[in-house]
Amino acid sequence: MVQAINAALGQEMQADARVIVLGEDVGRDGGVFRVTEGLLEKFGENRVIDTPLSELGIVGASIGLAVNGMRPIAEIQFDGFTYAGLDQLIDHASRIRTRSRGAYSCPLVVRFPCGGGIHAPEHHSESPETYFVHTPGLKVVCPSTPGDAKGLLASCVQDPDPCIFMEPKRIYRAVKEEVNEERYTIPFGVAKGVREGEDVTLIAWGAMVRECVKAADQLEAEHVSCEVLDVRSLKPLDVNAIVNSVKKTGRVLVVHEAPKTLGLGAEIVALIQEHAFLSLEAPVGRVTGFDVAMPLYKLEEAYLPNVNRIVEGVRRTVLF
Amino acid sequence: MPFKSAASFEVKFLQVLNEKGEVDSKLEPRISGERLKQFYEWMVLARVFDEKAIALQRQGRIGTYASVRGQEACQVGSACLLNDLDWVFPAFRENAALIVRKTPLKNLLLYWGGDERGSVPPLGVRNFPVAIPVSSQIPHAVGAAWACRLRNEKNVSLVYFGDGATSRGDFHEALNFAGVFKIPVIFLCQNNQYAISVPRSRQSAAQTLAQKAVAYGIEGIQVDGNDLLAVYVSVQEALERARAGKGPTLIECFTYRLGDHTTSDDAKRYRTESEVEEWKKKDPLARFELYLASKKLFSKEYQSEVLERAQALVDQAVQEYESVPLPAVSDLFNYVAAQLDANVSMQKARYLEGVGAQDVVPVTPVVAPLVKGPANQSSKPGKKRVSLEGSSKADEVPDF
Ligand SMILES: Cc1ncc(C[n+]2csc(CCOP(=O)(O)OP(=O)(O)O)c2C)c(N)n1
Ligand SMILES: [Mg+2]
């Protein structure tokens, strides 16, 4: 996935001279995960910029850059440090179009590695998607495969409005596939059916898709057929795909790493009951992080949803 | 009309002990031989610990670790002056300071080994936990020192941070508060020339970081951070100022990170060997050895004795660390609030049921195999029933 994101950055920069990349350690070091490796050499210091250590500055300056004709791609080094940029995103990036009645727009992308699973230090394993999804005016995506990462990032860069691009760090190198070398985009708001099934729909994004697929494989051996839907685009959400799958299976489990309360799962559950109430055979289940601070790594495994918990959740839904 | 000068300023630089081990006797602090040896022993212990921690990380026995190598004098020379009831706010590279502040080595290993119990402060010592988000701890130091004053205590705060931290709003807002309210706090910046790969010149166009104090109306000074005595003298002065109610001080310790940023970093990508070699010549430990020798406090035997003692302490700490039982899963939930609300309590109870009586990680809930019964073979929407053989009833299944 690192390579695919790197390729998308390179292609978008090649295609559009307004695109610049800025953040901490993105230049000389190529990013702490090497996602921006080689870009400085290729595009030079004016377009690949090592900034001072200042998340608010990075996001705030990107807003000005974007409003005045540039296409900044801001990297925030880790999920836990995006919060300092939230003020700028919520108060400004997301609503400059509204406030100026369309006179100004803010085509910026904020990318950051997200989620747990790599035994990282404190504040390096957060799943902050709800804060962004809850902010009107932002688009939010979180891919689960290299191919999706490439196409979704291209869409973010080309979009006229601010986009949040979340990169599940535990599958940066763990999920591999051949990726189309051409420049392409994947539209927002289109979920991906990862696996067809009859009995239960598993809904997830990012690193949890892989866990769902593993759980589905295990359940298949035990004769429960799971459909796995990767929503990819957290906002806008592909409500149709969700509803259609629910109509088919009648049972749903939403899986995410973020804490349960007001995690995106809550919104998905609400949408399902609005649009597919009569198709439901059981209450929609959730397997999520707990309503606790993301722990240090010795308890990380205990916090993160895993195959066992997903299987257990499916069983509960099925037994209802 | 010619301009008048609205303000002018000067930034002082302090060095007491130079690289050759020569001391400026006018500036030399009066410290007993025993204390001087103690300082040296702390620095050696920090370095031995550091080497061990890096090795443990490489062997997968702890997680990512941030090395203090090269910055021992900044930390020992400052922390040694505080009382237990003064507050210390570390960033994440403050192992030497934390050692001085009575933190068991085992706790340092626990923290970097992914266990929150490492953040429990030693009894009666006001150490805050490590702050990973850069600069975020600086305003806390202001608040804690403010509380000292409001509670009529003579105690102060000392907060450690790096050159990179001076680029964040937290730093500026903290200094501003401290200036406005004359808070008894010491801002100790370890300018080690890098924030991961980003050089000091990318953090600020200002000639020194110390001069940022000027803008907030507080005292500021730059000192040689590889000279323990310079750090000591400047912190002593700042402490007197703070305890006398005369306000905060910013001290920029000019130093160098001799190791990689952390065990996840490879510093060769962004700095030259020759630069590192130049700084190795300024090693704070070597310099302090020269000073001790000039005081007749140093010998080869003493050196190896100190080293051996440090190694024994570190080895013992590793053993202690590795015999600490894994944290209880219930600890995920137990500290969310003084009183857990119904929601968190329920999540905790259900989870612990699921993992059985075994309240430890790794968690592998026992899952009976699911067998889809014949009823499901007619998979018509609206009519389906999935039956499960060999598993418990629904209401006995924990809600994850
Ligand atoms: C707010 C925030 N942004 C980014 C990071 C990632 N990060 C960890 S340390 C570091 C550099 C810190 O530089 P400096 O303040 O000079 O301290 P040093 O590491 O040199 O001791 C960065 C960017 C972080 N921990 N917190
Ligand atoms: Mg630094």
Give the pLDDT of residue B364: 41
CB pairs under 8 A between A and B: 180
What's the pLDDT at B8?
94
Place of tokens 């953090």: B203
Confidence band, pLDDT 50/70/90 cuts, at residue A175: confident
ipTM of the complex: 0.95
For residues B164 and A57, is the Cβ–Cβ distance under 8 A? no
Beta strands in chain B, from DSSP E residues, in sequence order: 13-14, 87-89, 157-162, 185-191, 194-195, 198-199, 219-224, 249-254
For A2-171, CATH gives: 3.40.50.970
Average pLDDT in the B95-116 region? 98
Question: For position B355, what pLDDT does the model report?
Answer: 56
Classify the C-alpha dihedral A152-A153-A156-A162 as positive or negative. positive
Give me ligand 2 centre to Cα A68, in Å.
Answer: 33
Mean pLDDT of A26-33: 97
| Domains A2-171 and A192-318 fall in the same CATH topology | yes
Please give the residue of chain B at the shortest CA–CA distance from A28.
B270
Mean pLDDT of A220-249: 97
Whether residue B295 is predicted with pLDDT greater than 90 in this model: the reply is yes
pLDDT digits (tens, 9 = 90+) for B79-104: 999 999 999 999 999 999 999 999 99
| Residue B350: band (very low, low, confident or very high) from pLDDT cuts 50, 70, 90 | confident
pLDDT band at B361 (very low <50, low <70, confident <90, very high): very low
pLDDT at A260: 96
Q: What is the structure's pLDDT at B384?
A: 52
User: How does DSSP classify residue B27?
Assistant: T
| Domain A192-318 architecture | 3-Layer(aba) Sandwich (3.40)
Q: In the structure, what pLDDT confidence band is assigned to residue B381 with cuts at 50, 70 and 90? A: very low
More confident residue, B138 or B386: B138
Residues 304-333 of B with CB under 8 A from A: 326-327, 329, 331-333
Residue carrying structure tokens 């994004």:
A205
Please state the rounded mean pLDDT for residues B58-78.
Answer: 98
Please give the pLDDT value at position B150. Answer: 97
Pocket probe for ligand 1: among A51, A53, A55, the residue whose CB has the most ligand atoms within 8 Å is A53
Which neighbouring-strand residues pair with B23? B17
Which ligand does the CA of B71 lie closest to?
1
Check pocket membership of B192 for ligand 1, CB cut-off 6 A: yes
Tell me if A293 CB under 6 Å of ligand 1.
no
- Residues of B labelled catalytic: 257, 261, 270
Across A227-240, average pLDDT? 98
The pLDDT, as a whole number, for residue B352 is: 85
Least CB–CB distance from A299: residue in B203, B331, B399: B331
Residue A106 binned pLDDT confidence (cut-offs 50, 70, 90): very high
pLDDT band per the 50, 70, 90 thresholds, residue B385: low
Average the pLDDT over B330-340 and give the result: 95
Confidence of residue A300 (pLDDT cuts 50, 70, 90): very high
Contacts of A260 in chain B (CB under 8 A): 347
Cβ(B134) – ligand 1 distance below 6 Å: yes
Distance of CA B244 to CAs B139, B181, B249, Å? Answer: 21, 14, 13
Whether the ω angle into residue B362 lies within 30 degrees of 0, i.e. cis, is yes
| Confidence at residue B303, expressed as pLDDT on a 0 to 100 scale | 98
Mean per-residue pLDDT of chain A = 97
Q: Which residue has the tokens 């070398």?
A: A181
Q: CB A315 to CB B198 under 8 A?
A: no
Looking at CATH, the fold of the domain delimited by B12-322 is given as Rossmann fold (3.40.50)
**What is the secondary structure of A78-108 as a DSSP string?**
SGGGSHHHHHHIIIIITTHHHHTTTS-----
Break chain B into its structural domains and give their ranges.
12-322
Instruction: Give the whole-angstrom CA distance, residue A313 versus residue B397.
Output: 9
Q: DSSP E strands: which ranges in A59-184?
A: 71-75, 109-114, 139-141, 163-168
Of A124, A223, A256, A275, which is the active-site residue? A124
For the cut 90, the answer to whether the pLDDT of residue B250 exceeds it is yes
Of residues A68 and B394, more confidently modeled = A68
- pTM to 2 decimal places: 0.93
Q: What is the pLDDT of residues A242-270, one digit of tens each?
A: 999 999 999 999 999 999 999 999 999 99
Rounded Cα distance between B231 and B39, Å, is 12
Q: Where are the domains of chain A?
A: 2-171, 192-318
Tens-digit pLDDT profile for residues A182-222: 999 999 999 999 999 999 999 999 999 999 999 999 999 98
DSSP annotation of A304 = S
What crossing angle do the helices spanning B105-112 and B33-58 adopt, rounded to 10°? Answer: 30
B161, pLDDT greater than 80:
yes
Distance in angstroms (rounded) separating the CA atoms of residues A54 and A71: 19
- How confident is the model at residue A126, as a pLDDT? 98
**pLDDT grade, residue B353 (50/70/90)?**
confident
| Averaged pLDDT, B309-316 | 98
Structure tokens at A121: 């230090």
Residue-level pLDDT at B395: 38
User: Mean pLDDT throughout B368-397?
Assistant: 44
The answer on pLDDT for A228 being more than 50 is yes
- Per-residue confidence band for B379, with pLDDT thresholds at 50, 70 and 90: very low
* pLDDT (0 to 100) of residue A108: 98
Residues of B in contact with A28 (CB under 8 A): 197-198, 269-270
